[in-house]
Amino acid sequence: MTGRGTLGVAVIGAGRMGADHVRRIHEVTSGARVAAVVDVDAERAKAVAARADGAPVHTDPVAAMAPSDVDAVLIASPGPAHEATLLAAFERGLPVLCEKPLTPDAAAALRVLEAERKLGRRRVQVGFMRRYDAEYVKLKALLNTGQLGRPLMLHNRHRNVASPPGWTSSMLISDSVAHETDVARWLLGHEITAVTVLRPTPSANAPDDLQDPQFVVFETDGGAVVDVEIFVNCGFGYQVQAEIVCERGTARLGDGHALVTNMAGRWGGTIAQDYTERFADAYDREIQAWVDATRHDEVTGPSVWDGYAAAAVCEAGVRALEEGGRVEVELLERPAMYGN
Amino acid sequence: MTGRGTLGVAVIGAGRMGADHVRRIHEVTSGARVAAVVDVDAERAKAVAARADGAPVHTDPVAAMAPSDVDAVLIASPGPAHEATLLAAFERGLPVLCEKPLTPDAAAALRVLEAERKLGRRRVQVGFMRRYDAEYVKLKALLNTGQLGRPLMLHNRHRNVASPPGWTSSMLISDSVAHETDVARWLLGHEITAVTVLRPTPSANAPDDLQDPQFVVFETDGGAVVDVEIFVNCGFGYQVQAEIVCERGTARLGDGHALVTNMAGRWGGTIAQDYTERFADAYDREIQAWVDATRHDEVTGPSVWDGYAAAAVCEAGVRALEEGGRVEVELLERPAMYGN
Amino acid sequence: MTGRGTLGVAVIGAGRMGADHVRRIHEVTSGARVAAVVDVDAERAKAVAARADGAPVHTDPVAAMAPSDVDAVLIASPGPAHEATLLAAFERGLPVLCEKPLTPDAAAALRVLEAERKLGRRRVQVGFMRRYDAEYVKLKALLNTGQLGRPLMLHNRHRNVASPPGWTSSMLISDSVAHETDVARWLLGHEITAVTVLRPTPSANAPDDLQDPQFVVFETDGGAVVDVEIFVNCGFGYQVQAEIVCERGTARLGDGHALVTNMAGRWGGTIAQDYTERFADAYDREIQAWVDATRHDEVTGPSVWDGYAAAAVCEAGVRALEEGGRVEVELLERPAMYGN
Amino acid sequence: MTGRGTLGVAVIGAGRMGADHVRRIHEVTSGARVAAVVDVDAERAKAVAARADGAPVHTDPVAAMAPSDVDAVLIASPGPAHEATLLAAFERGLPVLCEKPLTPDAAAALRVLEAERKLGRRRVQVGFMRRYDAEYVKLKALLNTGQLGRPLMLHNRHRNVASPPGWTSSMLISDSVAHETDVARWLLGHEITAVTVLRPTPSANAPDDLQDPQFVVFETDGGAVVDVEIFVNCGFGYQVQAEIVCERGTARLGDGHALVTNMAGRWGGTIAQDYTERFADAYDREIQAWVDATRHDEVTGPSVWDGYAAAAVCEAGVRALEEGGRVEVELLERPAMYGN
């Protein structure tokens, strides 16, 4: 496709996230249009497509990729379905934005990695949207200036109001801490080499049998120590904070002092209640960046390697949670096409 | 035009602001395209148009409005040229986004108001972009909940690093405080009835003969008192802050605690250095809101009445600056089509 | 008295403030003891003295100053009684800490000034305790470094939860803004030359007939503009804030971010509910500083001149409130013994 | 001694801390006086005593305790000397404030504990001054209200500008983290049961061979997880921060937003450069509380048990640092006289 035309995007998956991306591409993103909406539930796909001027609807991702006005694929289906869709897109040579997780486990991620390597060029941007959040972007830029010196530690807080039904203790690692896995790797430029998980007495507000909160410690090949508080039934808000400690200073994000009120004996402000509120702009920027790059025939942002590394770290994390102690992370050697 | 097509926008004026809007419509805004770029300087127009896939170039705004793929007009030319362009757009029935000021003086604003009234419907959105800034939007929403009670006072700070060459004492009122004029009217829902301007000893960092800073006090027909510190050579950053004091509490915006560092004996963060940095998102939202409304054949946002009221208050403010004392503001009765 | 002995203090007035000072001298201050407690109500004096190991009790201030173990006088009686007590202390050569206001009006303050001039040396420290508050002290020190450059404007907020019974509109100036009068003179090193008072529509939470809030503007002989929001029925807390705007930067105090909580959808902290909470440390330091200086036979801190200037400005302020418009402040020439 | 008389204090140790306490008792504390100054270096003792109106000087702590005007003992000598002085004070029945550490190791602490138990009543307050810091006190009070629910995690930051000469890796635990040991036990009301120490790559600004920073994780018998960043060559300031995470919210102290400036493109404030600046008020309150309690023949504040527990945790911490892995803490059963 040329720079002038708009990018036709097939959106795979019409659940909460897919529907939000359809709205985004239709109403927010510049230079893109919804070319297809796919869901195993045709009615759901139809309802979502109707809000985007009635884009064509499919139940089969492969069929959705066939029409000539489909220029790219956005995967927002459940994790286990990602691998097949990715491979199908590779066959058709279509660029992909794949929501996290790339795949549910490291073995599947490796198969995708292998397939992309055979293509000889990157086709996939993985949906780690925090890399597009204004505060994380500023923090990364600040680190890049070198003013703070070398990073030594990274402290993270990740809190949700309440966990959805069916949430399990290992999902605190594989779904939630997965974000910090990517953030740590990206900010530090290190790979994670070991994981330890500490288990405080669970909150009385957590469902029975859910180990919530957890305190996760990463070690990295650059000698940094990273800690993550994950607490998915904190009750008071959705809160993502990070402080990086470097040789000459620290930087902290996520305090969010936008609008301060004085009322009824208290000063302060409101806390976002979910991730769509906190990261709405990050999602907008993520999709815009993907559309812009794709229209210039480029692939940028988090790669299949990043998706694979996150999966491998999360697998080690889940083992550390279940077995106790310190679990080492085993990674392949990084292929040259994914930089270093 | 229909909801599906993209909105063709003729951008009048290819200076700093016009060029930025061309970039915005081309790269950021969803559902719009640059249909023409107009500037008295054809070379400048050409250079700007080149960055938007070579949109057609004109030196005459009227000629630019003629082609059938021009659906709307964005006026970013110097203030004295606005009136003629607005009237020309009215003749062709085109919707307009007009950068502030609507016109340089209240008399011209009244002529535009009269012309729009004859059309019998609103055609113009005036470019008071602060109404689209996330913090101001939150503040307005908070006021609308009624939690804080009735507003009594509004304190404003408006600081620039340094004034551009040729800036005069009266421009601190008519160009800078013009924003607080609109913000105060919008947040309070009051009209401004009187202006007093106090003149501190000018800063040694201000150019000779420039009365900078100034301290401006508005009174409103709802009994509120509004103060504005305007300081255009403060040296340290671009800073816009507001605190509204109500019967049951206060709310304050503009502290901007995003990324906090500890370094070299100090904690804190950076201050934006100009309005494009501070209000980039507000401009994005303003243009998107205008495009969205226009595609639905609606006109929303600040009206010609708001442009006229700002001009009338600023005229009184300049008189108060020059003559001293308290100057009353005389406004026409508000036409029904502009609500109340 | 010598440096080793403890300073015997006669406390005149056993109301809320006097009782608190008795407690302070007995339990907090180093190097001082309560040598007498005086009140027109002997029972009240007795009750207060009992908490200080039963110090002697008097109903007449002059009688209380007679014993040889009384080394100094602290006046915390109602304002109209101050003049006579001050003159009595002058006759006995006793050093005095006099709570604000020095006297209820400028004429009485001038008589005290004249009496102290005849003594040829300062005997009185006036109780403007904000000069001893840690934040104001830091602000003054920062200004003294010259880093911020010359001060141009000073913005003040002064808020109380609710006004006591019997509070009148003019007391907002003479009792409350009196503090900002001193703070402005001290921080800026200027005298105040004119006062304007704006009258927002009163809050529905203010008692009938009380003009609350008020917005007060001072002009100074150094060319600065000072504004004060005084709002004594703000409902939410006791809050004192100040921002000084200088040629190269600004400094702001009173935000009080000590303990920050996240709870129930909000981040933030508590606001003090009255001045004893906010300024407890300032009172401790004020009394300690007075005791320390007195034991070295020195008089420091706010002087009778400062008390007189505050009275004169407040008188002009009350006139500006009642008559509207701008009222000029007339001050005597400053006697040499009060510095310049 | 009676409530009216002043408490005569023998200060043992005239180094930096002892000299500061002599100044404090002489100039700041109410109801106490310096009755003796002791140091092995008689000249140093003399110089310090001279600043307190020439209090008597000794080189032997036991001799200093003999005179009848010595009512209490403040121990600020090096840690290894504490045990003997404590036992001597016990023999004379004198109440003691003992600077931290109580003793250099848990075994010595146990001997002191045993000796105090034989007396059958508490005689010692240990100098964990953070329990007297206004922010920690507020945090403890907030926890006691139960509003936040049960505590689950406690995050701590402890940073110094630079380590003194001779500082060793284990001193980061035994001298610095010792404070967090006490803070965690006191805030949570738990005993610490295990310690893990992570070792980031040392900062290039740390002396050779110093493991700085360290990241320490405590587990408690109440099921809480506590983490401590200790970084004694952070370069930018002295900073102590804590966030407690409870079932219904969190509370954070140590951000210290007192005076905020805008200058040179940055907003923010200064960071204290050492503990005497940050905790000056806490030391004042600690000594005053000890003097007040002692004059009423009471012993309050951190006990010998607290000193013993801190020593035992620090010993385990040093082992965890040196050997790696998780080290369990073995504590005696808590004697009844130390509450539970």
- B20 with B12: CB under 8 angstroms? no
Q: Smallest Cβ distance to A268: which of C234, C237, C269?
A: C269
Half-sphere exposure (CA, 13 Å, Cβ side) for D172?
A: 31
Q: How far is B264 from chain D (nearest CA, A)?
A: 4
Most B CBs within 10 A among A30, A132, A155, A257, hence the mutation to make, goes to A30
Question: Do D269 and B266 count as a contact with CB atoms less than 8 A apart?
Answer: yes
Task: State the pTM of this model.
Answer: 0.95
Which distant-in-sequence residues (6+ apart) come within 8 Å of C298 by Cβ?
none
Residues of C in contact with D30 (CB under 8 A): 26-30
Fold of D147-274+309-338: Dihydrodipicolinate Reductase; domain 2 (3.30.360)
CATH for the stretch C133-280+309-338: 3.30.360.10
Provide the residue count of chain D: 340
**A89-93, C262-266, D240-244: range with lowest mean pLDDT:** C262-266
Question: Do C265 and A256 count as a contact with CB atoms less than 8 A apart?
Answer: no
CATH superfamily of this structure's domain B7-130+281-303: NAD(P)-binding Rossmann-like Domain (3.40.50.720)
The residue of chain B nearest to residue D255, with distances taken between CA atoms, is B267
Tally Cβ neighbours within 10 Å of residue A139: 24
For tokens 């709307």, the residue is B72
The rounded distance, in Å, linking the Cα atoms of A269 and A252 is 18
The residue of chain B nearest to residue A244, with distances taken between CA atoms, is B261
- B interface residues, D as partner, C-beta within 8 Å: 234-237, 239, 255-256, 260, 262-271, 273
Neighbors of chain C by Cβ distance (3+ pairs < 8 Å): A, B, D
- Tell me how many helices (H) and strands (E) chain D has: 11, 15
Provide the residue count of chain B: 340
Most C CBs within 10 A among B156, B203, B233, B323, hence the mutation to make, goes to B203
Q: How far is B38 from chain A (nearest CA, A)?
A: 21
Instruction: Supply the pLDDT for residue D1.
Output: 39
CATH class label, A132-278+309-333: alpha beta
The tens place of each residue's pLDDT in chain C, 340 residues long, gives: 334 479 999 999 999 999 999 999 999 999 999 999 999 999 999 999 999 999 999 999 999 999 999 999 999 999 999 999 999 999 999 999 999 999 999 999 999 999 999 999 999 999 999 999 999 999 999 999 999 999 999 999 999 999 999 999 999 999 999 999 999 999 999 999 999 999 999 999 999 999 999 999 999 999 999 999 999 999 999 999 999 999 999 999 998 777 899 999 999 999 999 998 899 999 999 999 999 999 999 999 999 999 999 999 999 999 999 999 999 999 999 999 998 6
- B286 with B302: CB under 8 angstroms? no
CATH of C7-130+283-301, one of 3.40.50.880, 3.30.360.10, 3.40.50.720, 3.40.630.40: 3.40.50.720
* Strand order from edge to edge, sheet including B96-99: B57-58, B32-38, B7-12, B72-75, B96-99, B124-127
For tokens 């020195």, the residue is C298
Cβ-based contacts under 8 A for chains A and D: 94
Helix (H, G, I), strand (E, B) or coil at D67: coil
Question: Do B147 and A263 count as a contact with CB atoms less than 8 A apart?
Answer: yes
Domain boundaries, given as residue ranges, for chain D: 7-130+281-303, 147-274+309-338
* Digit-coded pLDDT (tens) for A268-298: 999 999 998 899 999 999 999 999 999 999 9
Q: Smallest Cβ distance to B249: which of C236, C249, C250?
A: C236
Query: Which spans in B6-105 are helix H?
Result: 16-27, 42-50, 61-65, 82-92
Neighbors of chain B by Cβ distance (3+ pairs < 8 Å): A, C, D
* Digit-coded pLDDT (tens) for D101-131: 999 999 999 999 999 999 999 999 999 999 9
Question: Do D149 and A213 count as a contact with CB atoms less than 8 A apart?
Answer: no
Residues of D in contact with B235 (CB under 8 A): 264
Question: Do B259 and A251 count as a contact with CB atoms less than 8 A apart?
Answer: yes
Q: Nearest-CA neighbor of D226 among D154, D287, D296?
A: D154
Fold of B132-278+309-338: Dihydrodipicolinate Reductase; domain 2 (3.30.360)
Most B CBs within 10 A among D262, D273, D274, hence the mutation to make, goes to D262
The rounded distance, in Å, linking the Cα atoms of B116 and B86 is 9
The bridge status of strand C7-12 relative to strand C239-246 is: unpaired
The amino acid at residue B221 is D
Instruction: Supply the pLDDT for residue D340.
Output: 63
Q: Smallest Cβ distance to B265: which of D256, D263, D271?
A: D271
Question: Do C266 and A263 count as a contact with CB atoms less than 8 A apart?
Answer: no
CATH of A7-130+281-304, one of 3.40.190.10, 3.40.50.410, 3.40.50.720, 3.40.50.450: 3.40.50.720
The rounded distance, in Å, linking the Cα atoms of C126 and D140 is 37
Is the pLDDT assigned to residue B3 strictly greater than 50?
A: no
Question: Do C248 and B235 count as a contact with CB atoms less than 8 A apart?
Answer: yes
Q: How far is A265 from chain C (nearest CA, A)?
A: 5
* Digit-coded pLDDT (tens) for B173-231: 999 999 999 999 999 999 999 999 999 999 999 999 999 999 999 999 999 999 999 99
Instruction: Supply the pLDDT for residue B143.
Output: 97
Cβ-based contacts under 8 A for chains A and C: 56
